Chain A
């Protein structure tokens, strides 16, 4: 199957139009369309080794070590044995290859699993079960209920009336509501008849493969007729068939050409910014290395000319080498010796540290979600430290911020509000898991999962309060939900939107059970009695109407119109007699909206039989009109939906996941910007934005960009910029200079906090290359950004845009297939696991079950990983530079002959054994402050975003520091030793003793430096540090022992050196002196720094020390508050921030939107930008002692909560 994959990669010419004929494989094969096999894996068994090695050697470091290896086998140059390079290199390559192989095997598995799914295909006039990967373009396949759609299909026929099918598109766009597709009548007539279907020879011409989910254009030619095809007749791969027994479809696009796969984006090898920085640094180091070697080579040349030529009596040159050639050889010899500036063990260690920190993420119990037994998982082990540098978080909404569960939470019926729980003193209680629930056992058809706490409502129902009954009757009748009753009494609702489902479920539990529907009737069980209502008309919802009505005839013959819709809309159509009720309900509505609930207003009206008949007549006429049908119908709807009687209002909670507002608050304290990219509608998205603290009441403004043309959008963006930075001219960018050169856009200061909401249409314009900078600039000036109605690809584009112009690290988090492209595009992709679709998780780098774990991932794990990695790198470069520079100084004393300062064994083992474990220990265990304090001080995260711990500057400092250390480490022993003898007069100034002395000094110096770096001493660290020193002496004494020498005299020439020199006091006095001198400036610098300009870390650590005397702060746990009414940010902000709002000037700047006059208010403008101030939906939760009296009279428009518009 990989061959097919390759085929489509190789295809050069772009397809301009797709032509295919049903049931004609031969014809279709001539176009070489991709089959339905998908391939996400990279290698196969044969290509693995070469491809993987090729990839690995693209890493500069690996190539460099290969090169070193070549140098080392040339005898004239070789200044070190070849195995010093081979062992680590092979180790690195193997480990990486093994990891890549397992990753790829997993991808193969998932590919295989998908490719081997079975589907029924019509072949040779018979239905046969075939594997997905064998399905070809032009085949007719049969799908059954709850099956995944195999490929992009043209719907031919279905089991349902009118050739309808219902599909769920969650995998594609994240929306879980059902959508409807309808086949052409001409194909629908084929029905289930295999013979007819086999004879079907329609020809399709359509657009080439593309990634637009919402558009399709093509024509079907069948029996001489041409039919036009649009998106409504297409089933896309990734959808699931629901409520439809079977359907037949014609495959249009297969495998990699399906819209789902085209939307997946390219999977690229992700690297962290530290990786990139390291590559740059390694290049610099190479330059520096070449520089050092050149100096030494020139030195060698001069030395050979001046002294070497005279020394030739004792040391003849190798045949015919003159000084210049000797210098040339010396250059390469020094390349080998000084290669330790870029040691390969650096890369091994980096991988180990990342792996270790990934395990910590896997092991973290606080990121484990017990409800569905899902631990967090680090699926990529190479990106950890980047988690500590995130500046932008791109989040999906549905399933990520929200649970995608709507619950009926509160309602207001006839001026009485239900849903809150009060204790006997009248205090409102916070609803927790332990609050007593309403018992619905009186109703055998109740949904057991439905939870309600206010007993008053159930009492009202039982007392047969007519308004309450009417309220629930309306909910049971006025909707478009489908009911499925597989077993008697076990009802399942299929709703187009979750909120509708919630409302119908609520009615069901309160005794008004919607049981089934036919096209012209709705049967409900009303308090145990089966009743069937004749359904006379559905005045359906749309975006302009923002309401929905049904006209029904009750079994008694009474005609009624039931209507539910957005408050502003319904209020305009109420009968004057309700004005008093309206005021009370408005109060309740404000209260509900203030708590972040989605509200609907319910109203009804009894109809006159005669009037209705006449209206019906006109309606029929209008609906058959050819032109102007829409507006005529609208007029008719307007006409009948008036003088309504208000029943009350419902409040639905779009349940946020636990701890979302707190998480967002924490992240924004850590200076992380959060953008929500959602496929949802603007209102929904905005509402969630408020309830999860993204948009806040005290923001200076929220800009809505919803222009319908590029000019509008540009203008709106400019207006937004001007109001954020009033001082500046409206011409922000001299656009000519923006040109091609990719620039980095700096962050700009603005005069306050702003939010931005942009919808999909405008976003499409804003992402065009001419406007993207304008958009980015505006968006980045805002504190939070919400993009709604965006396609998966746009999500990726937004992420790419930020990546392109901002030098920042981005993270994308999502749960569905529609987030895959964004997850792949961002530096870090996080998948929410434990849900049904696994696409997001599979392409993510990290996955966990709840959005709130993000704060732990970033603020704790990310921060620590970054800190550890930076400490590691700084220390590692320090220790290796110091190690290497000593060679450099020695060169001036040994005639630039590429003699090493240290014993060869020491060189081999220095990085692998003597210093490996202590620094690994530090980078696996170190923490400046523990997790509790990390949460308490999210500001600790900021240095990571600013790259403070490891940058070119930090690196340069390291290099300077090691330069100093190496000077100390070479010249102190030199001066102390060069003219000294042992206490018994024997030699101690010999080369071997000097080597031993310097390497011991070096080891002590770097160990003490590590001790200074380490801020978290566990027993393991202590063991590693002391153990490594002990190891050094043990190994040294062993290597220098008689036995080793006598076995291999030429490999262990240092025999006896340790015994003969380490027993000398002056040796130890030298070691002590070098240690003191190496440590002195470091301690001085750090101490002074802490005193003069302490960093945030110093401050927090200081606090920790102070707090140790007292008790540590209690861990801030995100409490599980499932039905808490105080969850929403809207309510929160009022609890404390209201006074500020009134006294600050902002309150006055904003247009005061009064809605007590409600009827005249037109709502938010949907075109053009409006600096929207949401003011003053006072929540009584802030002041429990006075629960129900709003003390702010002017209340603004609430979000109108609407049911979802049907289909895409």
Chain B
């Protein structure tokens, strides 16, 4: 541009394929030769996928138990209705029976229904900078945490915000009613969160050789918590502070109001659990703390085995099968339409 070449044809445009819009190109068109085979092929693929997935999903086992008011928990349920009883502990037990042994790894989940972890203000009410161990944020949490940023004494809350404050705080003990007597089912309570969360996203603030309580000196615990953050796991000192697995799992907010979160994995080193959970009766001792009556929620425990495909969700296999039928149906209709109108090419005459 701007250059003025001398000569009679100085303003003649370049003869490049781009400027003359002659770039070589491929012009696809929806023809019967491509569309119809493609449709039949897709129908077949979806069918195969659907069947395969269905078989996979069928091979998993799942057991769900709503314990909100079940068994002896109705007392606790009533008790938790009232905020003034919040400090009083309450335990209850529910029983469940497994008809067919759960083979392989068994996962223990707690589930909540109608709990909106996905409200905008709820989700915003956290301070990732604090939880990654930034010292500034530890002492002066982000304003997003309001009103859970300071406790009654005006101390900064760690971890701050509505999400951490509302942590699910029921705890479970699973017992196997073996013919020989009740056996505690060992659950691994660590390694249940994403590797990235455990190691990168959440870090305790470090300060030389100070112990955790020292580090968290000068911060208050969240309003609804009974224990401070550095004392969440009494059994394992490394599972405390912001890197506590239960806290991390909770902090990964669910997308929908009904969700389940991993509580523990069956420890299969010892008999009788080497092959999974044997059939029989089980009881779950619950330390019933989390109130759900307020929001008309339900609580449940879920025991399940998994495949590569995940848990027992029938939606995808069925969806694939339905889609396959749909494609097949459409393919047939298109074939008929093509034979009737398009095949002769008469419809393309002007």
A residues apposed to B, CB below 8 Å = 79, 307, 310-311, 313-316, 333, 359-360, 362-366, 368, 370, 373-375, 864, 893-895, 897-899, 925, 927, 930-931, 939, 972, 974-995, 1015-1021, 1042, 1045-1046, 1049-1050, 1053, 1055-1056, 1059-1060, 1064-1066, 1069-1070, 1073, 1076-1077, 1080, 1083-1084, 1086-1088, 1090-1094, 1096, 1098-1099, 1101-1105
B28 touches A314 (CB 8 A): no
- With A925-B25, A976-B313 as contacts: A1083 and B15 at CB distance below 8 Å: no
A1105 touches B252 (CB 8 A): no
Select B122's contact among A314, A364, A978, beta carbons within 8 Å: A314
- With A925-B25, A990-B253, A1064-B310 as contacts: A1087 and B35 at CB distance below 8 Å: yes
B310 touches A307 (CB 8 A): no
Min CB gap B287→A, angstroms: 19
B210: interface (CB < 8 Å): no
B residues apposed to A, CB below 8 Å = 8-15, 19-32, 35, 39, 42, 46, 49, 53, 83, 105, 107, 109, 114, 116-123, 125, 127-129, 132, 134, 142, 147, 162, 165-166, 192-197, 200-201, 249, 252-262, 265, 291, 294-296, 306-311, 313, 315-316, 319-320, 323, 326-327, 330, 334, 337-338, 341-342, 345, 347-350
Task: Enumerate 22 A-B pairs (CB-CB under 8 Å) in ascending A order.
Answer: A311-B294, A314-B165, A365-B12, A373-B11, A897-B118, A897-B121, A899-B120, A976-B313, A976-B316, A980-B313, A981-B107, A985-B192, A985-B262, A985-B311, A992-B252, A994-B255, A1015-B27, A1053-B128, A1087-B334, A1087-B337, A1102-B348, A1105-B31
A370 to B147, alpha carbons, bound, how many Å?
77
A990 to B122, alpha carbons, bound, how many Å?
14
Known: A981-B310, A984-B306. 17 other contacts (CB 8 A): A315-B121, A316-B147, A333-B120, A363-B13, A365-B13, A365-B20, A976-B316, A995-B255, A1016-B26, A1018-B24, A1049-B128, A1056-B194, A1060-B194, A1076-B323, A1087-B338, A1102-B345, A1104-B27
- With A978-B255, A980-B311 as contacts: A987 and B11 at CB distance below 8 Å: no
A991 touches B12 (CB 8 A): no
The interface residues of chain A, by DSSP majority, are classed as: helix
B25 touches A1017 (CB 8 A): yes
B27 touches A310 (CB 8 A): no
A1102 to B254, alpha carbons, bound, how many Å?
52
**Residues of chain A with a CB closer than 8 A to B337's CB:** 1087-1088, 1091-1092
- With A310-B294, A1076-B42 as contacts: A976 and B319 at CB distance below 8 Å: yes
B319 touches A972 (CB 8 A): yes
A989 touches B254 (CB 8 A): yes
Min CB gap A467→B, angstroms: 45
A977 to B259, alpha carbons, bound, how many Å?
10
**Residues of chain B with a CB closer than 8 A to A931's CB:** 21
A939 to B350, alpha carbons, bound, how many Å?
11
A311 touches B316 (CB 8 A): no
Select B30's contact among A925, A972, A1049, A1090, beta carbons within 8 Å: A1090
Select A983's contact among B23, B117, B307, beta carbons within 8 Å: B307
A374 to B107, alpha carbons, bound, how many Å?
78
Min CB gap A231→B, angstroms: 41
**Residues of chain B with a CB closer than 8 A to A993's CB:** 255
A1015 to B194, alpha carbons, bound, how many Å?
45
A1099 touches B107 (CB 8 A): no
B119 touches A1094 (CB 8 A): no
- With A363-B19, A1050-B128, A1066-B316 as contacts: A894 and B12 at CB distance below 8 Å: no
**Residues of chain A with a CB closer than 8 A to B128's CB:** 1045, 1049-1050, 1053
Min CB gap A915→B, angstroms: 20
B25 touches A375 (CB 8 A): no
Min CB gap A284→B, angstroms: 28
Q: Choose among B23, B109, B142, B345 the residue with the greatest number of A CB atoms under 10 Å from its CB.
A: B23
A1049 touches B28 (CB 8 A): no
**Residues of chain A with a CB closer than 8 A to B260's CB:** 979, 981, 989
**Residues of chain A with a CB closer than 8 A to B315's CB:** 975-976
Q: Choose among B10, B19, B46 the residue with the greatest number of A CB atoms under 10 Å from its CB.
A: B19
Closest 9 CB pairs of A and B: A1056-B196, A994-B255, A363-B19, A1091-B342, A899-B120, A897-B120, A985-B107, A314-B166, A1049-B128
Min CB gap A886→B, angstroms: 13
A1060 to B201, alpha carbons, bound, how many Å?
13
**Residues of chain B with a CB closer than 8 A to A930's CB:** 22
B11 touches A375 (CB 8 A): yes
Select A986's contact among B129, B165, B192, B258, beta carbons within 8 Å: B192
B127 touches A1050 (CB 8 A): yes
Select B23's contact among A1018, A1091, A1094, beta carbons within 8 Å: A1018
**Residues of chain B with a CB closer than 8 A to A1086's CB:** 30
**Residues of chain B with a CB closer than 8 A to A895's CB:** 116, 118-119, 257
A1046 to B309, alpha carbons, bound, how many Å?
32
A991 touches B116 (CB 8 A): no
B20 touches A364 (CB 8 A): yes
CB-based nearest A residue for B264: A985
B296 touches A307 (CB 8 A): yes
A1103 to B27, alpha carbons, bound, how many Å?
13
**Residues of chain B with a CB closer than 8 A to A1021's CB:** 25
B127 touches A989 (CB 8 A): no
Select B194's contact among A986, A991, A1064, beta carbons within 8 Å: A986
- With A370-B12, A1070-B316 as contacts: A990 and B308 at CB distance below 8 Å: no
- With A979-B311, A983-B307, A1056-B196 as contacts: A373 and B122 at CB distance below 8 Å: no
**Residues of chain B with a CB closer than 8 A to A1088's CB:** 334, 337
- With A975-B315, A1080-B330, A1087-B334 as contacts: A1049 and B296 at CB distance below 8 Å: no
Min CB gap A1182→B, angstroms: 28
A1073 to B315, alpha carbons, bound, how many Å?
11
- With A368-B12, A897-B120, A1105-B29 as contacts: A1049 and B259 at CB distance below 8 Å: no
Select A894's contact among B119, B127, B323, beta carbons within 8 Å: B119
A1102 touches B29 (CB 8 A): yes
Min CB gap B206→A, angstroms: 14
A1060 touches B196 (CB 8 A): yes
Q: Choose among B12, B134, B142, B349 the residue with the greatest number of A CB atoms under 10 Å from its CB.
A: B12
Q: Choose among A864, A987, A1080 the residue with the greatest number of B CB atoms under 10 Å from its CB.
A: A987
B296 touches A991 (CB 8 A): no
**Residues of chain A with a CB closer than 8 A to B306's CB:** 981, 983-985
A1153 to B15, alpha carbons, bound, how many Å?
54
**Residues of chain A with a CB closer than 8 A to B195's CB:** 1056, 1060
**Residues of chain B with a CB closer than 8 A to A333's CB:** 120
CB-based nearest A residue for B144: A1050
Min CB gap A370→B, angstroms: 6
Q: Choose among A927, A1090, A1098, A1101 the residue with the greatest number of B CB atoms under 10 Å from its CB.
A: A1090
**Residues of chain A with a CB closer than 8 A to B26's CB:** 1016-1017
B307 touches A1056 (CB 8 A): no
Min CB gap A536→B, angstroms: 51
A927 to B42, alpha carbons, bound, how many Å?
29
**Residues of chain A with a CB closer than 8 A to B147's CB:** 316
Q: Choose among A375, A991, A1021, A1080 the residue with the greatest number of B CB atoms under 10 Å from its CB.
A: A991
CB-based nearest B residue for A931: B21
A1049 to B132, alpha carbons, bound, how many Å?
8
A1087 touches B194 (CB 8 A): no
Select A307's contact among B194, B259, B295, beta carbons within 8 Å: B295
**Residues of chain B with a CB closer than 8 A to A359's CB:** 19
Q: Choose among B10, B28, B315 the residue with the greatest number of A CB atoms under 10 Å from its CB.
A: B315
A967 to B194, alpha carbons, bound, how many Å?
30
A359 to B296, alpha carbons, bound, how many Å?
64
- With A987-B194, A1070-B316, A1077-B323 as contacts: A899 and B19 at CB distance below 8 Å: no
A1066 to B307, alpha carbons, bound, how many Å?
11
**Residues of chain A with a CB closer than 8 A to B259's CB:** 978, 989
CB-based nearest A residue for B349: A1099
CB-based nearest B residue for A1100: B350
A1080 to B134, alpha carbons, bound, how many Å?
50
